[in-house]
Amino acid sequence: MSYQVKQDGKFKYIEEGSGEPLLLLHGLFGALSNFKHLIEYFNKTHKVVVPMLPLLDLDLLHTSVGGLQKFVHKFIESRNYESIHLLGNSLGGHVALVHILKHPERIKSLILTGSSGLFESGMGDTYPKRGDKEYIRGKTALTFYDPAMATDELVNEVFEITNNRLKVIKIIALAKSAIRNNLGEELNQVKQPTCLIWGNNDTITPPFVAKEFNRLIPNSELHFIDKCGHAPMMEVPDEFNKILEGFLLKLKTPAATV
């Protein structure tokens, strides 16, 4: 996958295709590669947009779910997107939820997969001594049903981040912010059609979390995928894309009937 990273002021992002924007927010250890299959599939029907979230670049005071939401809001305003289908995985889902609660006006639909915001079991508040790559490999593998998905390339990316003291402090700050920022009492305010796509074998935001989102978000539908962990769009992209495509097709304005 090789897409041009565009820059608009302080914002870096990918924008492929045309149509209604499908805006993708990655998680705490996420990257553009997480959405490779999704971009390739949907850029034929939508304007697929992936902003580079400044997870580890905000000052410590703003290294929080709220700080990331403000960044996303400024990005959307700067690009003047309308009728957005907002998709978030893991922490990205949490940011999407906070955004839609604060600024629903430009959002047409919401798609959550493995989202935090109610409960999550992450890497914990502490790390072992820096340099323990096998620990990182094991933790990365927990993201997936199939541990082979934790490739050397992926493990090296996470290892590089966790081997930097300041980055680790920011990761812990984001993780703690996500735990503090429980949205259970606010989710009934989400009015947009919402699609929940969840791995049946997700150990970080387990299936009961998806069922609770489904119960609390009024206009929501829930889809489980078997033999799948915390990142369905990476692990089972074909099934994920079919579910998402079906959801988006239902939202198309029906032709006028006489």
Task: Convert 25-50 to b/e letters by CB count within 10 Å (16 or more is b).
Answer: bbbbbbebebbebbbbbbbebbbbbb
Q: Is residue 135 in a domain?
A: no
pLDDT of residue 258: 39
The span from the CA of 16 to the CA of 5, in Å, is: 10
Q: Is residue 133 in a domain?
A: no
Which amino acid is it at 5?
Answer: V
Q: Is residue 143 in a domain?
A: no
Q: Which residues, other chains included, contact 65 with Cβ-Cβ below 8 Å and sequence gap of 6+?
A: 91, 94, 95, 98, 174, 177, 178, 181
Parent domain of 44: 6-121+182-250
Query: For 163, which DSSP code?
Result: T
| CATH code of the domain covering residue 221 | 3.40.50.1820
Consecutive 10-residue averages of pLDDT for the chain (258 residues): 86 96 91 88 97 89 93 97 97 97 98 93 52 80 89 86 85 89 95 98 96 97 97 97 97 59
pLDDT of residue 256: 41
pLDDT of residue 1: 57
pLDDT of residue 47: 98
Q: Is residue 160 in a domain?
A: no
Strand partners, 196: 112, 222
